[in-house]
Structure 1
């Protein structure tokens, strides 16, 4: 089925969408992105995604080719035109195309940034089968670049982690650096001990997850204890529960870590409650 996408100022059928072969996003992964969830036709945590996009662009000295108002309007227009009830809106901004290949950044005064948005329908986004069974993860060396706080399209290593997990009969990976878990391949990682939720603190080592920030706020209001520190794979295996968060997964229970069951080996009450809490509150605040 043909989708309507947005490419550099135009709404087009996806079969007609084109970008230059010299676009730096294509040649050098010189681009940033965001993914915003849609439930019941409304955008979840949109303000957080917009704010993180602005930060990523600023960190890379890249210009946003549209205003805040225009960006929100484009999101809503694509959701409407494509009839998205539950799903995702993918946004990517590149440094543009100077008409040739060079390591040196082009002059932004003469080379405008490129922008692409498209939607993906995910009917069971709020109630996927994996939320009931939990997922299994493997440990995987974290060899990504040092600025993981910038949401760039440099996703080859996370893709390799996903493929390694699939080969091992698992669903995902926990990245490990210097003996400590940094995050999942496309998510923030957590363990649970009693009423305490443990997750790595914000730094350049991890993505500053929008779902993470929202969930921790809701969890604190629900009287859960929050401890921000790094943890090991062994700690995760010995935890009462483990889970990950992300825009496309919300709160996803982790029931096995590197071959060892976590807790009972089934989704626990904390992760289950946090998922319900996040969806309930996020839907109330959706726009």
Structure 2
């Protein structure tokens, strides 16, 4: 069953719990992570916690709990849920204090939810998804997994209204990433993806894909590329914790990537990914 946690108490996800003067609610003053459990085991939990603590440091958010204390809460939440295949969302804010832009002197607020993950239908992966190009209108520090997601939401909604799974963001003529995913193109059997910088999030699935590519002897190159290069690629795919590895086979409704079908490299990566997570 779905279950939630807030500052030491386990509750139902739809139970009223957040005071009005919560800084995540008032300012988006916080960070978050989402991690997946497969068959009762967390996937790359330490890497997720590394990124969580990096984000906390970047916004000067002082956590009272260390990683082992957070792990204990996560595992208890999962055990209480009774589920084996699930997503755990962690949200940490600067706390509950009267509205004031300055940092308050109060404990941080930690919320978590455990919910069954939404598995992508096999036929959707076999057919591939649609994407659209969209201006990257976000702030400069996208490497922080912060609660400030309004530009992502607007771009994702625009993609949805065009019948697309994801909006691929473009900044200064270069592809950065998706609204909630990292982006890759394949050309001449080589994988290309945008280099890590302040302008993109260091995806955890990206780490896994890079390791799988190296294991399969598929060249993996981190360099910038343009929207035109993307549209002329042999394959395009995106990755995230919830999407895993998803081929993008067309843009803007009718612009096909090569033959409009998922390619062999994305399929090989996903096959190996599934074996790892199973």
Q: What's the TM-score once normalised by structure 2's chain length? A: 0.95
Aligned to 2:197: 203
Matched residue SS, 1:115: strand
Aligned to 2:179: 185
What value does the CA root-mean-square deviation take over the aligned residues?
1.5
**Do structure 1's residue 173 and structure 2's residue 167 form an aligned pair?**
yes
Aligned to 1:7: 6
Alignment of structure 1 residues 1-287 onto 2, 5 Å: 3-98=2-97, 100-107=98-105, 111-122=106-117, 124=119, 128-258=122-252, 259-283=254-278
Matched residue SS, 1:280: helix
Matched residue SS, 1:6: strand
Number of aligned positions between the proteins: 277
Aligned equivalents of 1:71, 1:279: Cα separation in 2: 27
CA contact (8 A) 2:32 2:145 kept: yes
Deviation at 1:218, TM superposition (A): 1.7
Deviation at 1:281, TM superposition (A): 2.4
CA contact (8 A) 2:248 2:262 kept: yes
CA contact (8 A) 1:148 1:206 kept: yes
When residues 237 and 152 of structure 1 are mapped into structure 2, their CA distance, relative to the original with a 3 A threshold, is same
Matched residue SS, 2:141: coil
Worse-matched range after superposition: 225-234 or 78-87:
78-87
CA contact (8 A) 1:199 1:228 kept: yes
Aligned equivalents of 2:122, 2:65: Cα separation in 1: 34
Deviation at 1:87, TM superposition (A): 2.3
CA offsets, 1:109-150, max 9 Å, x none? xx000000001212635x554222211111111010100000
CA contact (8 A) 2:130 2:248 kept: yes
CA contact (8 A) 2:117 2:242 kept: no
Deviation at 1:180, TM superposition (A): 1.0
CA offsets, 1:183-235, max 9 Å, x none? 01100000001220000000001001111012101211210101111111211
Matched residue SS, 2:231: helix
CA offsets, 1:156-181, max 9 Å, x none? 11111111111112111100111111
Structure 2 spans left out of the alignment, 5+ residues: none
Runs of at least 4 residues off by over 4 Å: none
Aligned equivalents of 1:151, 1:117: Cα separation in 2: 15
Deviation at 1:3, TM superposition (A): 3.1
Deviation at 1:261, TM superposition (A): 0.6
